[in-house]
Structure 1
């Protein structure tokens, strides 16, 4: 056998767990993408406006606070009544995100249909505005709608390319762990504990190892 073929054979024997696990993981990811139910995402936008000029930093701080409140029951209760869903269902499908330097809140809704995602995002945005503006005299800021949610063109998940890549990455990890597990017994067999003389009692072997 020539040297290149011998080297290739040695590499295959060494790396076969990874070579086997990567396509299996990629196939599992692609299979998941093929059978997973579609989910759609829509975004509604709200802006925090300071009632006094020159208080832009105050508006940004309140945007951060109200963005965290977007997923709380006191805000979701009104949205749940408007959409006919439960508060717990909205907690799982709606989230609010903010920017560290802009007084804007993005309300993201997800659902099995485009209309469900739009309805959830807009309902929570409306509920958040109403909830916050009841305290505008005390906070000095007011929430106003910036843009209503637009119907998504296609599902946000599953993604065949992303799920396949994640499956392949998981295959690399599993294959590497399998290789590491195979090396441990081999390393243990080659250590000092492997130097055992047949018929020698264990106590005497240990004493000989100490000497």
Structure 2
């Protein structure tokens, strides 16, 4: 006679209860570390290069106006109008620039930072410098209306170290996540409430003889 689904489930719960607590944590930590380390090894390293331009007011403008236009140019830096010109100097398609280039501004300084990320450090430099060059030309074209010009503050230089996490770091993160999941599994682990249902004795019901004895003793 084959086991019913209910009995199979009870046997599985019994095996889970029999596992030592440390084995669940150890298995989760080991599995997470292996997955995280493998991810770090198989994923190519990435490098980030950053170039900076600064907004300078002309005689007809003010520093506050330059700060405001710097914020605007920071948003324009990753738009198609700028990237379309930058692709010529970077030597990559516009889609690559859209995926790889980011811009940032400061609320206190009229400066725009353009960062490019690539698995090739030299290409990251070329993309960052190409975008700032295109952005500066667009600012020069509208300088008569804005009274603000963009000046190259710092060119991007080739990074010496990758910005992506190493395999050791990803392995450590994976091990921590695996240990956490193991701890959560322990919290959800079925509690031991005495004997299993299959081993629980059936409740005793007084038979005719026992009932007669009880009546005779009265």
TM-score computed with the length of structure 2 as normaliser: 0.71
Gapped regions of structure 2 (runs ≥ 5): 1-18, 194-201, 204-218
CA contact (8 A) 1:26 1:167 kept: yes
Question: Which secondary structure does the structure 2 equivalent of 1:143 belong to?
Answer: strand
> Is it true that 1:121 corresponds to 2:103 in the alignment?
no
Please give the per-residue CA displacement for 1:34-70, whole angstroms capped at 9, x wherever unaligned.
2211212111111111224882222222222211221
Q: 1:86 to 1:52 in 2, by over 3 A?
A: same
Gapped regions of structure 1 (runs ≥ 5): 1-11, 190-196, 199-211
Distance in structure 2 (CA, Å) of the matches to 1:106 and 1:22: 40
> Is it true that 1:25 corresponds to 2:44 in the alignment?
no
Moved more, 33-42 or 141-150: 33-42
CA contact (8 A) 1:118 1:151 kept: yes
CA contact (8 A) 2:53 2:112 kept: yes
- Aligned counterpart for 1:151 among listed residues 141, 154, 158: 158
Distance in structure 1 (CA, Å) of the matches to 2:168 and 2:78: 30
Higher helix share: 1
User: Post-superposition, which runs of at least 4 consecutive aligned residues in structure 1 deviate over 4 A?
Assistant: none
In the TM superposition, what are the counterparts of 1:162-173 in structure 2 within 5 Å? 162-173=169-180
Distance in structure 2 (CA, Å) of the matches to 1:57 and 1:175: 55
Question: Which secondary structure does the structure 2 equivalent of 1:156 belong to?
Answer: coil
Aligned to 2:149: 142
> Is it true that 1:41 corresponds to 2:33 in the alignment?
no
User: How many residues end up aligned between the 2 structures?
Assistant: 178
TM-score computed with the length of structure 1 as normaliser: 0.73
In the TM superposition, what are the counterparts of 1:8-157 in structure 2 within 5 Å? 13-14=20-21, 16-52=23-59, 55-157=62-164
Please give the per-residue CA displacement for 1:120-175, whole angstroms capped at 9, x wherever unaligned.
00001101111122112222211110111111112222423431232133224422
Q: 1:81 to 1:14 in 2, by over 3 A?
A: same
Distance in structure 1 (CA, Å) of the matches to 2:87 and 2:34: 39
The RMSD of aligned alpha carbons is 2.6
